[in-house]
Amino acid sequence: MVILQIRNIQYRYHDGTYALRGVSLDIRRGEFLAILGPNGSGKTTLLKHLNGLLKPLAGELVLEQKSFTQYASREIFQRVGIVFQDPNDQLFAPSVWEDVAFGPMNLGLSRDEIAHRVDEALSLVDMMLYANKTIDALSYGQRKRICIAGVLAMRPEILVLDEPTCGLDPAGVTSLMTLLKELNGKHGITIIMATNMVDLVPVYMDRLAIMYQGNLLRIGTPEEIFSNMTEIKYACLELPQIALLMKILRDEENLQMNTLPLTIGEARKFLVHKINCNNLTIVT
């Protein structure tokens, strides 16, 4: 069930900054995991360890029971794909097709297989019509999709994304999250995503981990994590907007609820139920 184990890893940058102070985390096969935490808490540093871009100062990473040190780095690159925060750091080939083909070419695949992989990846991210465009001609959101396609062309088991919704407009955020949910649900890809958008978490993710000052503060389901206000505040995070409204209704308007609804769907169900119950009371 556990696909990737992070065992007590520490990391220090050249200038002496301790970015990770002993982080342990089990990533489950097929889950959609969010990594939350304020700026500078170590999210990016942690993600860069997951495909071997950074090597821990202490501790180890274990992919399917085997330590990273026992794999060729190429194999880890293929199995764990990482999408950087800024697409301009990732894209470098002149055209979309060449960029997406770069990974499969490095795997030494045949021309036909490369072409097949590029078509497949572009179709997954709904960018088939852009295959021959130059990268310059793409919008920011489209560049993000091409970065994801480049990683998908390697057919990874794990997809790691660093704040992928950053810089997108609201429609772009929804469309990207729908794509990720589909890759996770339909194609079974395990997804780990750093984000600061708490509102997305209860809608799309199974679990979330909170980073704070180079430590992993806690991991749990959205229900578990968002029920602990003290910890949320301590980690400089906030409740999702809907949960905040429901909390105000509970604490200041005395609307009784057993658990705090976290999404529009849950809040709607709860409120409709309350309204219906109240109507019944009035009628009888």
Binding residues (CB under 5 A) for Mg ion: these are 43-44
Q: What residues numbered 28-47 form the site for ligand ADP, per CB under 6 A?
A: 37, 39-45
Residue with tokens 């390697």: 154
- Shortest distance (Å) from residue 11 CB to ligand ADP: 8
Nearer to ligand ADP, 45 or 51 (CB): 45
Nearer to Mg ion, 43 or 145 (CB): 43
Nearer to ligand ADP, 41 or 165 (CB): 41
- Regarding 236 and contact with ligand ADP (CB under 6 A), the answer is no
Among 2, 13, 92, 269, binds ligand ADP (CB under 6 A): 13
- Shortest distance (Å) from residue 20 CB to ligand ADP: 8
Angle at 63 between CA 58 and CA 68, to 5 degrees: 45
- Shortest distance (Å) from residue 187 CB to ligand ADP: 27
Q: Which does 17 bind (CB under 5 to 8 A by kind): Mg ion, ligand ADP, none?
A: ligand ADP
Q: Which does 41 bind (CB under 5 to 8 A by kind): Mg ion, ligand ADP, none?
A: ligand ADP
Among 6, 19, 138, 249, binds ligand ADP (CB under 6 A): 19
Size of interface with ligand ADP, in residues (CB under 6 A): 12
Neighbours of 77 (CB within 10 A): 20
Interface mask toward ligand ADP for 54-73; x: CB under 6 A: --------------------
Listed as own residue / partner, the contacts of 219-222 with beta carbons closer than 8 Å and 24 or more positions apart are 219/25, 222/262
- Shortest distance (Å) from residue 223 CB to Mg ion: 26
Which tokens in the block code for residue 276? 């219906």
- Shortest distance (Å) from residue 209 CB to ligand ADP: 12
Q: How many CA atoms lie within 13 A of 232 on its CB side?
A: 18
- Regarding 17 and contact with ligand ADP (CB under 6 A), the answer is yes
Kindly list the residues in this chain that would bind ligand ADP in the complex (CB under 6 A). 13, 15, 17, 19, 37, 39-45
